[in-house]
Structure 1
Amino acid sequence: MTAAAAKRDVSPASFRDAGYWLDKTVDQLLTEAVARTPDKVSIVADRADRGQALRLTYKELERRANCAATSLLQLGVGRGDIVTVQLPNWWEFVVTAFACSKIGAVMNPVMPILRERELVYILNFCKAKVFIVPKTYRGFDYAAMAQGMRGDLPDLQHVIVVDGDGPDSFERALLASDPAKLPSGLAPDDMAVLMFTSGTTGEPKGVMHTSNSLVACCKALTGRFGLDSSDVMLVASPVGHMTGYAAIVLLSVYLGGTMVLQDVWEAKHGVGLMASEGVTYTAASTPFLSDICEAVKAGAPHPKDLRSFLCGGAPIPSVLIERAANELGLKVCSLWGMTEILSGTLTEPSRAGEKSATTDGRAQDGMEVRIVDLDGKPVPAGQSGRLLVRGAQMFKGYYKRPELQTFDGEGWFDSGDLAYMDEDGYIRISGRVKDILIRGGENVPVVEVENLLYKHPAVAAVAVVGFPDARLGERGCAFIVPRSGSTIDLASVQSYLGECKMAKQFWPERVEVVADLPRTASGKIQKFKLKEIAAAFAETK
């Protein structure tokens, strides 16, 4: 990148002038969609425990959002107050998101997998006034859990229960009020959503996004995929994460399209929904794509309208991309993003077959990426370095954590990822800065070791971390979850890596067979916990 590019104006005014920031609020997206097509179906709400999917028009979605906004005001929720929502992919989540925006409250989605330990921390840190939960979901009693935490949550004033049967039920507490005249809601630069990072390195951080950054994501995805109001989007990714929330739910309303909510992922049923509802686009991780291919192969109806699949979170095997293209006629587009930056890089459909298996895309419109060495100097194409990013989709900062450095003087955010860039400007994630394992002065490519081991027939899951060594500085330990009925040990791991022609210096020198790996609510491996375990091995060497 040239010095001139490095000094490019990245102020809010520049984003507005360039058209990346539209100065529209989240609730304004809904208002405009209603004005265009009030009677169009906005939501098809499929639930695993219900026979018939509920359908809401844009006019009905707005009516319910207005009711909920009025009720939240009556419950004492005002501008800047935080509403924590622990719901699966249900229409009530969507209604609450727009209701919060209408009155200037902040939406704080959390994953259904979270339990007391994480929730008490988040709710107290946010000083959330309202906590919305399902009565039960997938056999777990959320209402009982929420009530059981009340003694540890001094700021929490209301627990509202979807499918509840008392005065605290969603229907009675939020939808029974007649819509009233609402005060001014969010400004485009106000915090609109607060979403906590997954905590792969310790204590989770609250990521603040504004309507402008969220809408910039929608605009960029629309342009890269060529989406419009005719698109129908499957929401199978959790709405408690930015993929489900921003890249599908808000995107659908931004377009004036239709979203199909699926609350429990079951591939055969999901593919059936895609076929019957004419789904054209979805965004999810690699396992969803594999499941779709397998379901169609097993006889599920072919989702003939599905043309675009945004896939992120892990490298996409080339064989899966080819299979999706050959069996489904589907273009799989690789993406790199974070809670902090939304969609940073993306492969456009026209180059998906060429680039998605080997890269994580190129910078989105309104975004820039840069790869630098440890001294902050740009590195040549093909060389791995720290991945920096800046642009219109960036977060506002970490909630109540001003001491955490976010952006440097030129607006760059250090993603914590290592990556390299090809001659066309497409990047490939090669690891995490904190994952670097330095053995005898040699940087061990941890991600490459893990990717090879994932191909071993006996390995179900693996994570490689370093542990201290007096002579070499660090040695490598592979924590491995074996496949059912399989066994694996250090000798077989090293023999396999030798057959794969990997340098011996990169081989793990210890293998720990475990039943499972510690993970966040979203499934990311918490390597800091594995490093804590591995630290004890130094004493045994």
Structure 2
Amino acid sequence: MNAPAKAARPGAAAAVSGAHADEFRRRGWWRDETFLDDLHRQARERPQRLAIAGRRIAEARTDTLDYAELARLTDRFALALLRLGVRRGDVVAVQLPNRWEMVPLMFACMRVGAVVCPISPICPKDELRHRLGLTEARVCVTLPEWSGTPLAEIITGLRAELPALGHVAVVGGPVPAGAFSFHDHFVAEAREEVSGTAELDGLALSADDPFVVLFTSGTTGESKGVLHSQNTVHSAVRGYVDAFGLGDDWVAAVSTPLVHYSGFAQGVLAGVMLGGTVAFQDVRRNEALLDLVERYGATLLYGPPATLADVAASQRAEKRDTSTLRHVVIGSAPVLKELADEVHATLGARTYSLWGMSENGPVTMTRPTDPEDWAVHSNGRAVDAMRTRIEAPGADGTGRLKVRGASLALGYYRRDEAFAAEFDADGWFDTGDLAREDARGGIRIVGRARDAIVRDGEVAPMTELEAVIGSHPRAVEAALVGLPPATDGADTVICAVVVPRGEQGPALDEVRARVRESGHDEHFLPDRMELVPALPKTLTGKVRKAELRRRYGAG
């Protein structure tokens, strides 16, 4: 269904044949309209409907935009980009937490034909240099500082190494030499009616043009820029919306960063497509997230298991009105029965499981038509626009997960050969994950292939075991790694690396007992445990298991 990208750069053709593109359109997975068209439609039909609500934790305030304001700001920001010399195909980097400015800026890039590159505010300097250099970003929008890191100074200091970077705009606070105030250039008088937008006519990206670069975590090497069109993202968002039966009454409380696929696509873009509302916060605070749910009547809450467990605990401590919630969605991680039960007891909503990745967005998910507890057992079945295949399953049914379909990215930015190498001869994309079938046409993710722990030909269900161990009352989270045995011919040593909750974490015997009580094979009980203050992670939150293997492999 898909072929590797021939050219993964702004202005390149979509990475599928014309016949496949026609088929995707015929099925409604792709379209001629864009998310910018969706925004303009909502601004005409429901101008005063709340589009976004962004909570600023430090300032204790919530910034809101209705659809009319969002459309006006989009035009204003687009004109500001033109004045900076941004032209079709240029890349605009946005290094912001979950702030309202990111949303109209993203749409403004679509309006002028530019490609947006979201970057986390916790991105290290070397990685920031790599991303800005690879994309040859013309503009970077950032903060003066974040968590004590002087972001604006770092970026202006890199300009000598980044000849393409012409402008650094700083949102709020002091502006260092070599940068300028975002507010002065983009926002001043932005809430006034914008006139004279004729120079924007004809510049907007088409549905097939590249429009966003999302960088991978880079756990085993250089991070890669995943290039998507609005159509590849639309097919994923449409599948997500249809699977849950979402409509224009949808209000999402999003706990994930807007610089990640889940935040900007399943949050912002899905909301604009539907004409719904998206609420978010710039710093994660469980109480503030619950306040957003109550204040705006959220119908869907999205986040990782640890966040949702903390939210449920906060709800028990101080109850809010969460009666509007219908869907609590956990992405790319196992859902434990204890968590699903606690979410239902405290928030009154059902839990759903979802699997996806930057290269294809949400691919599989459990549905309202599944058994009530199905999220505990499965990551769901594929959306209509995607197909999954488990290649070369072993005796336990575990094999490499491959996918194909309309949501696959156009390619890796300026890394065409690397993207092509991910496909087999039949056009299936290798996700790098191991999975098994769930007996209902879906899949259950086992873990990353490169991190597999194998005993007697069976693959340990790493993600499930990690979730069980991490749910111990004295644990925050856990990671499993396989270490070399002390003697030749012995089994791989299974080491549980645990972040304790409080001063004292669980003992190894307690961890083994918890795994045993969860019903998992005793063959996969941890042999060793290490307590650490924090797990080493990538910018996208993935554990750097290679680092853990190096750290403890000689112990």
Common fold: TM-score over 0.5: yes
Deviation of 1:465 (Å): 2.3
Aligned residue type for 1:173? H
Name the counterpart of 1:472. 489
Aligned residue type for 2:427? G
Any idea what SS the aligned residue of 1:463 has? strand
Name the counterpart of 1:185. 204
Give per-residue Cα distances to partners, 1:155-195, cap 9 Å, x unaligned.
21111111146671112222358653214221211111100
Name the counterpart of 2:219. 200
In the alignment, is residue 415 of structure 1 matched against residue 431 of structure 2? yes
Q: 2: distance between equivalents of 1:529 and 1:205?
A: 20
Name the counterpart of 1:283. 302
> 1:267–1:352: structure 2 CA closer, same or farther, 3 Å change rule?
farther
Give per-residue Cα distances to partners, 1:89-137, cap 9 Å, x unaligned.
1110001100001111111111122121221111111111111112344
> 1:264–1:60: structure 2 CA closer, same or farther, 3 Å change rule?
same
Deviation of 1:226 (Å): 1.6
> 1:115–1:61: structure 2 CA closer, same or farther, 3 Å change rule?
same
Q: 1: distance between equivalents of 2:117 and 2:477?
A: 31
Match of 1:320 among 323, 339, 344: 339
Match of 1:168 among 180, 189, 192: 180
Aligned residue type for 2:183? E
Deviation of 1:270 (Å): 1.7
Deviation of 1:213 (Å): 1.2
Q: 2: distance between equivalents of 1:458 and 1:44?
A: 35
Task: Give the superposed CA RMSD.
Answer: 2.7
Aligned residue type for 1:516? A
Deviation of 1:257 (Å): 1.3
Give per-residue Cα distances to partners, 1:135-154, cap 9 Å, x unaligned.
34455432233223333323
Name the counterpart of 1:383. 397
Q: 2: distance between equivalents of 1:421 and 1:10?
A: 31
Match of 1:129 among 138, 149, 153: 138
> 1:487–1:38: structure 2 CA closer, same or farther, 3 Å change rule?
closer
Any idea what SS the aligned residue of 2:302 has? strand
Paired residues of 1:130 and 1:156 also in contact (CA < 8 A): yes
User: Structure 1 regions of 5+ residues with no counterpart?
Assistant: 1-8
Match of 2:105 among 93, 96, 104: 96
Match of 2:250 among 221, 225, 231: 231
Any idea what SS the aligned residue of 1:249 has? helix
Deviation of 1:244 (Å): 0.6
> 1:422–1:530: structure 2 CA closer, same or farther, 3 Å change rule?
same
Aligned residue type for 1:274? V
Name the counterpart of 2:31. 22
Aligned residue type for 1:100? C
User: Aligned runs of 1:357-372 on 2, under 5 Å?
Assistant: 357-372=376-391
Name the counterpart of 1:516. 534
Q: 2: distance between equivalents of 1:472 and 1:455?
A: 33
Name the counterpart of 1:343. 362
Name the counterpart of 2:162. 153
Any idea what SS the aligned residue of 1:350 has? coil
TM-score (norm 2): 0.87
In the alignment, is residue 425 of structure 1 matched against residue 441 of structure 2? yes
Paired residues of 2:216 and 2:540 also in contact (CA < 8 A): no
Paired residues of 1:460 and 1:481 also in contact (CA < 8 A): yes
Any idea what SS the aligned residue of 2:168 has? strand
> 1:61–1:491: structure 2 CA closer, same or farther, 3 Å change rule?
closer
Deviation of 1:531 (Å): 2.7
In the alignment, is residue 462 of structure 1 matched against residue 471 of structure 2? no
Name the counterpart of 2:409. 395
TM-score (norm 1): 0.89
Aligned residue type for 2:480? V
Deviation of 1:248 (Å): 0.7
In the alignment, is residue 265 of structure 1 matched against residue 284 of structure 2? yes
Name the counterpart of 1:3. none
In the alignment, is residue 210 of structure 1 matched against residue 229 of structure 2? yes
User: Aligned runs of 1:236-247 on 2, under 5 Å?
Assistant: 236-247=255-266
Aligned residue type for 2:376? A
Deviation of 1:339 (Å): 0.8
> 1:193–1:498: structure 2 CA closer, same or farther, 3 Å change rule?
closer
Q: 2: distance between equivalents of 1:315 and 1:510?
A: 23
Paired residues of 1:199 and 1:526 also in contact (CA < 8 A): no
Deviation of 1:39 (Å): 2.7
User: Aligned runs of 1:107-126 on 2, under 5 Å?
Assistant: 107-126=116-135
> 1:69–1:448: structure 2 CA closer, same or farther, 3 Å change rule?
closer
Give per-residue Cα distances to partners, 1:285-333, cap 9 Å, x unaligned.
1123223322221123222212112211311111221222233221211
